[in-house]
Amino acid sequence: MTDPWWRSAVVYQIYPRSFADTDGDGIGDIKGIRRHLDHLEWLGVDAVWLSPVYRSPMADFGYDVADHTDVDPVFGTLDDLDALVAEAHARGIRVLLDWVSNHTSDRHPWFVASRAGRSSPKRDWYIWRDGGPGGGPPNNWRAAFGGSAWSWDEPTGQWYLHLFLPQQPDLNWSNPEVVEAMHDVLRFWLDRGIDGFRADVVHLIGKDPALPDQPPHLAERDLVGLNDQPGTHVLLRGIRAVLDSYPGDRVMVGEVNLETAAHLAPYYGVGDELHLVFDFSLLRTPWDAAAWAAVVRASQAALVHDAAWPAWVLSNHDQVRHRSRYGGSEARARLAATILLTLRGTPFVYAGEELGLEDAIVPDERRVDPGGRDGCRAPIPWETGPGHGWASPAPWLPWPPDADRRDAATLANDPTSILHLYRRLLRLRRTSPALRAGSWCEIEAPPGVLAYERATDTDRRVVLANFGDEPVAVPFAERWIVDLASDGAGADHESWAGVVDGRQAVILRPAG
Ligand code: GLC
């Protein structure tokens, strides 16, 4: 049996609002993505995942879906999306959509009907409850962006649950009609040739039917981190069966916001739940080789089932970009990218990280996201000069720092740029079975250096990443050739001299 494509793929996340604007409204659109497929093909990505492009009032910029089967006019039309998929496929790039599983917009016709009255046939499609004993919310759950997770609906005299904004009511997945309707959404897109989905906060869909209070010591914490219910696994098996009924290895990668790899492992089931589950541990890991090693070891120890293949992330549309997290150091961003793209698992690259972008500084009066995540959603600069290749000189958010030197065109002309580093890393993965599919094994190295080997029967690579600022000697008995250095201009194919520079990562292959 050959491995499914997504095991050796590099997936590139596009936040469509911020990618490229072609109609001049300051907001990125699907035509903008089509325009830059050259960039993605040149870079060498295997798939793109688009954050939501569905019809939405945009209270959470698309994660509040009002129509699952149409494109919001701000992004274009369904025809534009079909064209994008066809063009991407023609270049060998697969397309994943974001499937917002836990909630809809409060303007979705389902919720409008549900809210219309207690006897509405869709009342039970969402989670409605009477007030608690004192007349307040039914329990102490908090919403992810603050405040109670319950809102009062005056006309019908009940509370509804929303783990995110009040404009994002939670679906009631214990109702079989909801399950069927959400499966139909998947089928709609699978029938149209979509290659898979990123499932938004999918660990939240199964809820404890008793909706018990959070224990007091957890009550003030973000509820999203705490929900891990057996019922979710039953639902995930049903979702998996829908994907498996289609040809072509359609994939479901789940956003499961739980703390550790050990919490994530059950979400793969026995190869009958999610295909991939994001491991966000590196997002929370300090700049320390030993801490990084511990994260990878924990993943190895937890994902023991053959079907449990890791999915690694350094940045996304919800988190401060990794270069910003690492103090703005490009050398560190390069080192981290070298690790991301040589770990065992499927790496997810967030648009703009290949340009070494940092978060934008967003002045208070320009802040628009209820979750405070504007900085990492700054528009992508494609060219130098005003507008940076956008049809409007003034996009919806400020440009990231150094946009005049970090635009894609400038970096493409510089073989020493971080953009070329990403491209070389992606190429190396393609040509090295060990990097794509091999085992991962830590090797001994001096403190401050993360060192590991990737190996198959026929191919071996060693990665050394020096988290410190000073050069470190790493003595090896064997002779090695340098395939790539994170700070270099290209594959130097020189004999390894036995020293990793400060904030440098190298990929080595055995000599001869
Ligand atoms: C996920 C998304 C985030 C969104 C939230 C609610 O965490 O990544 O952007 O706000 O779910 O849908």
High-pLDDT (> 70) share of the chain, %? 97
Q: Using pLDDT thresholds of 50, 70 and 90, give the confidence band for residue 512.
A: confident
List phi, psi (to 5°) of 139: -150, -175
232: left (phi over 0), alpha (psi -120 to 50) or beta: alpha
- Which whole number is the average pLDDT over 471-498? 88
* pLDDT tens-place string over residues 403-415: 999 999 999 999 9
Q: Which of 447, 448, 466 is nearest to 506 (CA)?
A: 466
Residue nearest to atom 7 of ligand 1 (CA): 201
Distance CA 264, CA 310 (A): 10
Q: Is the Cα dihedral 55, 57, 60, 64 positive or negative? A: negative
Instruction: State the number of CA atoms in the 13 A half-sphere of 490 facing the CB.
Output: 4
Q: Is 29 in the pocket of ligand 1 (CB under 6 A)?
A: no
- Using CA atoms of 509, 510, 511, 512 in order, give the dihedral in degrees to the nearest 10: -120
Q: Is 63 in the pocket of ligand 1 (CB under 6 A)?
A: yes
Q: CB burial class (10 A; 0-12, 13-18, 19+) of residue 371?
A: middle
Residue nearest to atom 4 of ligand 1 (CA): 63
For residue 305, the SS3 value is coil
Q: Using pLDDT thresholds of 50, 70 and 90, give the confidence band for residue 221.
A: low
Which DSSP category does 402 fall into?
T
CB 500 within 8 A of CB 506: yes
Residue nearest to atom 12 of ligand 1 (CA): 63
User: Which domains does the chain possess?
Assistant: 5-104+176-428 (3.20.20.80), 109-161 (3.90.400.10), 438-510 (2.60.40.1180)
Q: Using pLDDT thresholds of 50, 70 and 90, give the confidence band for residue 228.
A: confident
The pLDDT of residue 260 is 85
Question: In this structure, what token pair is assigned to residue 424?
Answer: 């070389």
Strand order in the sheet with 150-153: 128-129, 158-161, 150-153
Q: What is the largest CA-CA distance in the chain?
A: 77
Q: Is 201 in the pocket of ligand 1 (CB under 6 A)?
A: yes
The pLDDT of residue 218 is 67
Residue nearest to atom 3 of ligand 1 (CA): 318
Is the per-residue pLDDT at 222 higher than 60? no
Residue to mutate, 171, 201, 373, 374, ligand 1, most ligand atoms under 8 Å from C-beta: 201
In one letter, which amino acid is 507? I
Is the per-residue pLDDT at 238 higher than 80? yes
The pLDDT of residue 170 is 98
* pLDDT tens-place string over residues 17-50: 999 999 999 999 999 999 999 999 999 999 999 9
Q: Which residues are catalytic?
A: 200, 255
The DSSP-derived string for 327-389 is TT-HHHHHHHHHHHTTSSSEEEEETTGGGT--PPP--GGG---TTS--GGGPPPP-SSSTTTT
Is the per-residue pLDDT at 225 higher than 60? no
Q: Is 273 in the pocket of ligand 1 (CB under 6 A)?
A: no
Q: Is 200 in the pocket of ligand 1 (CB under 6 A)?
A: yes
Beta bridge partners of 509: 481
CA of residue 318 to ligand 1 center, whole Å: 7
- Which whole number is the average pLDDT over 147-162? 97
Is the per-residue pLDDT at 1 higher than 60? no
Question: In this structure, what token pair is assigned to residue 433?
Answer: 């079975």
List phi, psi (to 5°) of 397: -130, 160
Q: Is 312 in the pocket of ligand 1 (CB under 6 A)?
A: no
Distance CA 298, CA 439 (A): 15
Q: Is 374 in the pocket of ligand 1 (CB under 6 A)?
A: no
Is the per-residue pLDDT at 237 higher than 80? yes
- Which whole number is the average pLDDT over 199-225? 79
Structural element, H or E, at residue 451? strand 449-455
The pLDDT of residue 491 is 63
The pLDDT of residue 391 is 97
Mean model confidence pLDDT for the chain: 95
Q: Is 60 in the pocket of ligand 1 (CB under 6 A)?
A: yes
Q: Is 318 in the pocket of ligand 1 (CB under 6 A)?
A: yes
Distance CA 186, CA 175 (A): 17
In one letter, which amino acid is 87? E
Residue to mutate, 200, 202, 316, 319, ligand 1, most ligand atoms under 8 Å from C-beta: 200
Q: Is the Cα dihedral 129, 165, 176, 201 positive or negative? A: negative
Residue nearest to atom 2 of ligand 1 (CA): 200
Q: Is 46 in the pocket of ligand 1 (CB under 6 A)?
A: no
Helix axes of 176-191 and 230-244: crossing angle, nearest 10 degrees: 30
Is the per-residue pLDDT at 278 higher than 90? yes
Q: CB burial class (10 A; 0-12, 13-18, 19+) of residue 347?
A: buried
Is the per-residue pLDDT at 120 higher than 50? yes
For residue 151, the SS3 value is strand
Structural element, H or E, at residue 176? helix 176-191
Could you identify the atom of ligand 1 that is nearest to the CA of residue 102?
A: 12
* pLDDT tens-place string over residues 139-154: 999 899 999 999 999 9
Q: Measuring CA to CA, how many Å separate 417 from each of 412, 414, 420, 421, 422?
A: 7, 5, 5, 6, 9
The pLDDT of residue 219 is 57
CA of residue 84 to ligand 1 center, whole Å: 24
* pLDDT tens-place string over residues 191-206: 999 999 999 999 999 9
CB neighbour burial string for 252-268, b if at least 16 within 10 angstroms, e if fewer: bbbbbbbeebebbbbbb
Least confident of 52-56, 392-396, 477-481, 486-490: 486-490
Comparing 443 with 489, the larger pLDDT belongs to 443
CA of residue 113 to ligand 1 center, whole Å: 24
Q: Using pLDDT thresholds of 50, 70 and 90, give the confidence band for residue 479.
A: very high
CA of residue 468 to ligand 1 center, whole Å: 34
The pLDDT of residue 226 is 56
- Which whole number is the average pLDDT over 199-216? 91
Distance CA 154, CA 146 (A): 21
* pLDDT tens-place string over residues 355-384: 999 999 999 999 999 999 999 999 999 999
* pLDDT tens-place string over residues 327-345: 999 999 999 999 999 999 9
Q: Which of 327, 412, 397 is nearest to 360 (CA)?
A: 397
The pLDDT of residue 20 is 98
